[in-house]
Amino acid sequence: NAGVTQTPKFQVLKTGQSMTLQCAQDMNHNSMYWYRQDPGMGLRLIYYSASEGTTDKGEVPNGYNVSRLNKREFSLRLESAAPSQTSVYFCASSVAGGGGVEQYFGPGTRLTVT
């Protein structure tokens, strides 16, 4: 049981390049989340997927797109990376949606945009 996995662990991009961060969970959870974490700030929600086939914007969605490929997988795409997107990205999942439910986190992806 791997829990929540993310790839890659580290990535360096040049401004304007695109990339997709992958996330998968093997806990049969319905809901999945993408966060970013910046120094001195808490985690901020980028996008959320309550269930397969649905996605919703979070607090900071600009510059990102997501795909809930199936129940297990939820990817985050940067179409044209900018230095402001340098951050650590966390994927999480929970049994159901709603803020009162425990979320399970992946190890994070450290992204640097130069």
Chain residues that interact with other proteins, rule: CB under 8 A: 3-4, 31, 33, 40-45, 48, 50, 56, 58-59, 90, 92, 97-100, 102-108
Distances (CA, A) of 92 to 13, 31, 83: 23, 8, 24
Taking the complex as a whole, the smallest distance from the CB of residue 50 to other proteins amounts, in Å, to 7
Amino acid residing at 24 = A
Phi, psi of 16 (to 5 degrees): 95, -15
Which burial class, exposed, middle or buried, applies to 23 when counting CB atoms under 10 A from its CB (0-12, 13-18, 19+)?
buried
Through-space distance between the first and last CA atoms of the chain, rounded to whole angstroms: 36
Tell me whether residue 63 or residue 107 sits nearer to other proteins (CB atom). 107
Tell me whether residue 37 or residue 67 sits nearer to other proteins (CB atom). 37
Taking the complex as a whole, the smallest distance from the CB of residue 15 to other proteins amounts, in Å, to 27
Q: Measured between alpha carbons, how far is 64 from 80 in angstroms, rounded to an integer? A: 9
Tell me whether residue 28 or residue 102 sits nearer to other proteins (CB atom). 102
Taking the complex as a whole, the smallest distance from the CB of residue 56 to other proteins amounts, in Å, to 8
Tell me whether residue 17 or residue 30 sits nearer to other proteins (CB atom). 30
